[in-house]
Amino acid sequence: MTGKEQAHPNTTMVGTANGPANKEKAVSVQTLTMNSEIRPIVTQNAVMRTILRQVETIAKSDSSVLLLGETGVGKELFADFIHHSSVRAGKPHVKVELAALPHELLESELFGHDRGAFTGAFNSRKGLFELANGGTLFLDDIDDFPVQLQPKLLRAIEAREIFRLGGTASIRVDIRLIAATKVDLIDLVRCGSFRQDLYYRINEVPVEIPPLRQRRDDILLLASAFLGRFDANRTFLLAEDAQRVLLSYSWPGNVRELRNVMRRLAVLAEGEVHEQDLPPEIRSNTPLRFITQGCTQCLENEKLSFEEVVRCVERNLLEHAMRQAGSNRAKAARLLKMKSSTLRDKLKRYRLIA
């Protein structure tokens, strides 16, 4: 569909970043970006906007930062913003994806090695700590850091000096550490797979990024931003049925999953997007599937009692039904096969209505 064609009456424009659909939302959208090299953080969610204001303040300090959040919520994007908003902005910003590095290579990659340190080490080589000197070192998936190397990491952060593998002389390094984790590190501390002293050292300033399912008012806004980024020469239209599916889906892969879906639409869609144009896994988001994906944390958290898990599942099911029904209680009650009075009482119990 070209920009000159008329939109379907039940269609809302959600597309190019400069399109009319965004004009009305512009005042409530917070975008943090320092220059053209940094991807903006776009949101209209009140909780996210509070977090972003905090991050602006955190960026001006030199404290270690621990970013917490599920896979795909945008932890690397936050790390980018913190670095480029700090006094270290003109210095190196080195990113390490720990989950992708074999443990046997990690020590050499991080701390470097001297000539002859091991078979094949014909020359000395700087590690990532040295390469990040003066700037920021971002350690993604810090929960995957091997316990046997954690004392060396702790010393590097606290003493600001490292020893290369096979080396005897200390090397001074000046870095700001930003770490990211997809799990609660306290659980790893309790089971002995993460050092308590290291946890407290990297957790000077924690920043928790909520999953996309907890900020659904950002879904269509982010979809618009992604579509505009992937194809700025076309106007995409999301019909009401497509919007409803996108808003009711639980997004277990968070913003990364939404971005990938929008990339697919930018390639395959003709312009006006309906439910049938969305991937099958998005369209087949049944209530049972919603529960198993949306309640991942409570179903896997062994610290919660049976009653707490039941309350979590029930609340998520109520929220899902209300979204599917467009906040129409009578329709939501029919979807849940319960009396309207029962639904009302449950909604009040979970403070989903006044």
Does 51 lie in the same domain as 181?
A: yes
Number of H helices, E strands in the chain: 17, 12
What per-residue confidence (pLDDT) applies to 130?
94
Instruction: Please tell me whether residues 234 and 342 are part of one structural domain.
Output: no
Q: Give the end of a domain, one of 246, 267, 285.
A: 285
Within this chain, do residues 91 and 194 fall inside the same structural domain, yes or no? yes
Cα distance between residue 64 and residue 179, in whole Å? 8
30-44, 139-153, 294-308, range with greatest mean pLDDT: 139-153
If one counts the domains in the chain, the total is 3
pLDDT category at 224 given cuts 50, 70, 90 is confident
Query: pLDDT-based confidence at 273, cuts 50/70/90?
Result: confident
Residue 38's pLDDT is 61
Residue 261's pLDDT band (cuts 50, 70, 90): very high
The pairing of strands 93-97 and 11-13 is unpaired
In 98-174, which residue ranges form alpha helices assigned H by DSSP? Answer: 103-111, 128-131, 150-159
First-to-last alpha carbon distance for the chain, in angstroms, is 43
Which region among 51-55, 81-85, 303-307, 330-334 has the lowest average model confidence (pLDDT)? Answer: 303-307
pLDDT of residue 125: 82
3-state SS assignment for residue 238: strand
Q: Could you tell me the CA-to-CA distances from 282 to 161, 247, 270, 274, 290 in Å, in that order?
A: 49, 10, 19, 12, 11
CB 320 within 8 A of CB 294: yes
Does some domain include residue 1?
Answer: no
Q: Is the pLDDT of residue 205 over 90?
A: yes
Both 305 and 329 in a single domain? yes
Same-domain pairing of 50 and 198: yes
Highest mean pLDDT, choosing among 104-113, 190-199, 227-236:
190-199
3-state secondary structure of 204: coil
Residue 332 scores a pLDDT above 60: yes
Residues 104 and 240 in one domain: no
- Nearest Cα residue to 129 out of 152, 101, 151: 152
If one compares 288 and 75, the residue with the highest pLDDT of the two is 75
> Cβ distance 313 to 291 under 8 Å?
yes
Instruction: Flag whether 5 is in a domain.
Output: no
Q: Starting at the edge strand that comes first in sequence, how are the strands of the sheet with 136-140 ordered?
A: 93-97, 136-140, 176-181, 65-68, 205-208
Domain limits for position 293: 286-354
At 105-127, the pLDDT tens digits run 898 899 987 876 666 667 878 88
Cβ contact 147:195 at 8 Å: yes
